[in-house]
Amino acid sequence: MKDYAVVGSGVGGSSIAALLNAKGYDVALFEKDSNLGGSSSSFKHRGYSYNTGATTLAGYEEGYVVKEIFDAMGFTPEVIETDPSIVVIQNAKITPRHKDFERFFETLNRNYPHAKNREFWKLVYDLNKEFYKYDGYYYSNANVFAKIKSLTSFLPLFLKFQKYLRGDAYGFIDNFFGGIDQEYWRFLESQILIVAQAPAKEINFLTAALSLGYAFSKNHYPVGGFGALFDAMTQNIKDVYAKSEVTKIVQREGYFELYSNGERFESKKIILNSTVYESGKLFSEADVKNYYKKYEKLDNHQSSFMLYMTIKSAKKFHHHYQIIEEELFPHTLSKALFVSFSDAMDDKIAPKGHYSVTASIHTDSRFWDDKASYKAQKKELSLILQNLILERLEIDKNEIVDSFSATSKTFGRYINRTQLGGNAISVKNFLPFLPGNDTKVKNLYNVGDTVYAAQGWPGVMLGVKNLQRLLDV
């Protein structure tokens, strides 16, 4: 019998599995797909490699949670520091998001002049530096008493940042500047959306400031693609089962039974990295099913449309670009496209002289439900995005050696989820309404971007750290 069975090898699943393994527990890690990493995995297509979704390792820096958890498991990833974190292209304006405040600010203020710019961006900068200094808070959802007790641990954080937690970020920013033009709004909104996964009207200003300010912290490029990072992180776990979807979990007296590929496994504790909207399907017991059922309504159907390309080019590219347009792209929720290039020196992910390109844009998974229009929509959007990248980044069409796209449906097929980006911490969906890392079912836990704390590497790793505390390991 295993001490822990972890279902799903995303950021949350693989990290907690590697951490428990490093601490001497007997762990089994199950993954439905052939690649580890979920939304942060890599895959091969027609002989070329691609990052599936995530391309930036955020929060790997002294004093930040990703580094803290990696250190605790004794893992050092092979990464390259990325600076600028993104180059934002809007009309003729090009704004590199440099880590150094003055270097970034000089271009920002030239491109989007405003008398209150320095004060605003200094506030964003300071909130980012101060927020990550806070420690000692945790979140439990096992029962009402545990929840209330855990919420009191957030008091110092609430008190410090309370004026940025009231109201929505849109109102706060508008009021701060006393009005800004539409172009500057789109610049701010597009960057808030890629981190917070919600528009400024739905989130508080603290969340918006942490999103706008992520480029002031160190960001890293994973060498060989994120898949290589997951393979290295989990290499000491003896029982990693890829291509192993767990289809059923049964509660027994003091342990659980899991079923995968017709085999039966036993474990004392279970950690689910499946989305909180889908986890109920694994159980037949009514109390567990109902527990998860109440969270299904949190599924906002937000998702991603992806364009993958391999290009052969002698040009030098930055790691990440955001291209902001005036209008929403068809079949999407966004006016901005995020485009990531492999490093020119990284011949583990792309052959020498080639770049592996992963581009993503927000969409709604329901836009892809209609079978009759699916293919035509996919082709239309792929072409628009491809042409935009070629035009804005001055790439010749003949330089493309591979190109294809993926929708919410593709994600559903490979990694069991069509909602992507997890639960946005919005004004409505805030502590204490967030699903937790512990549950009311003894020895059953959750981890990942649909439960505490948030999405992305830092958000999910805050959840891993919380889970580590709840498990007392």
Residues that bind ligand FAD (CB under 6 A): 7-13, 30-33, 38-40, 53-56, 58, 245-246, 273-274, 304, 360, 415-417, 420-422, 448-449, 455-457, 460
Token pair belonging to 396: 């010749």
- Distance of alpha carbon 464 from alpha carbon 6, whole angstroms: 12
Closest separation in Å from C-beta 286 to ligand FAD: 20
Residue closer to ligand FAD, measured from CB, 247 or 290: 247
Residue 253's CB is within 10 A of a number of other CB atoms, namely 4
Nearer to ligand FAD, 234 or 273 (CB): 273
Q: How far apart are CA 231 and CA 248, in angstroms?
A: 26
For ligand FAD, the closer of residues 60 and 170 by Cβ is 60
Minimum distance between the CB of residue 306 and ligand FAD, rounded to whole angstroms? 6
SS (H, E, C) 198-266: CCHHHCCHHHHHHHHCHHHCCEEEECCCHHHHHHHHCCCCCEEECCCCEEEEEEECCEEEEEECCEEEE
**What sign does the dihedral 24-28-34-38 (CA atoms) show?**
negative
Taking the least distance from each CB to ligand FAD, the nearer of 78 and 245 is 245
Amino acid at 337: L
**From the CB of residue 372, how many other CB atoms can be counted at a distance below 10 Å?**
7
Tell me how far the alpha carbon of residue 416 is from its chain's centroid.
16
Q: 116 or 366, CB closer to ligand FAD? A: 366
Residue nearest to ligand FAD (CB): 10
Least Å distance between CB 43 and ligand FAD?
Answer: 11
Which residues fall within 8 angstroms of residue 313, CB to CB, at 6 or more apart? 353, 354, 355, 395, 396, 399
B/e letters for 123-147, b = 16+ CB within 10 Å, e = fewer, are: bbbebbeebbeeeebbbbbbeeebb
Give me the least distance between CB of 455 and ligand FAD, in Å please: 4
Give the shortest CB-177-to-ligand FAD separation in angstroms: 28
Supply the minimum distance, in Å, between the C-beta of residue 223 and ligand FAD: 15
Contact 441, 287 (CB under 8 A): yes
Nearer to ligand FAD, 39 or 251 (CB): 39
By C-beta, is 20 or 415 nearer to ligand FAD? Answer: 415
**Minimum distance from residue 391 beta carbon to ligand FAD (Å):** 22
Q: Closest separation between CB of residue 427 and ligand FAD, Å?
A: 20
Specify the residue, 180 or 309, whose C-beta has the smaller distance to ligand FAD.
309
Compute the least distance from the CB of residue 366 to ligand FAD, in Å.
Answer: 16
Residue 427, CA distances (Å) to 52, 164, 204, 207, 282 in order: 30, 11, 6, 10, 31
Nearer to ligand FAD, 90 or 418 (CB): 418
Minimum CB–partner distance for residue 245 and ligand FAD (Å): 4
What's the CA angle centered on 225, arms 19 and 227, to 5 degrees?
45
Kindly state the smallest distance separating residue 7's Cβ from ligand FAD, in Å.
5
Going by DSSP bridges, is the β-strand pair 263-272/444-446 parallel, antiparallel, or unpaired?
parallel
- 200 vs 258, beta carbon nearer ligand FAD: 258
> How many angstroms separate the CA atoms of 381 and 374, rounded?
11
Pick between residue 57 and residue 173 the one whose CB is nearest to ligand FAD: 57
Nearer to ligand FAD, 310 or 407 (CB): 407
- In whole angstroms, the minimum distance from the beta carbon of 373 to ligand FAD comes to 22
Contact at 8 Å (CB) between 308 and 51? no
Angle between the N-to-C axes of helices 65-72 and 11-22, in degrees from 0 to 180, rounded to the nearest 10: 40
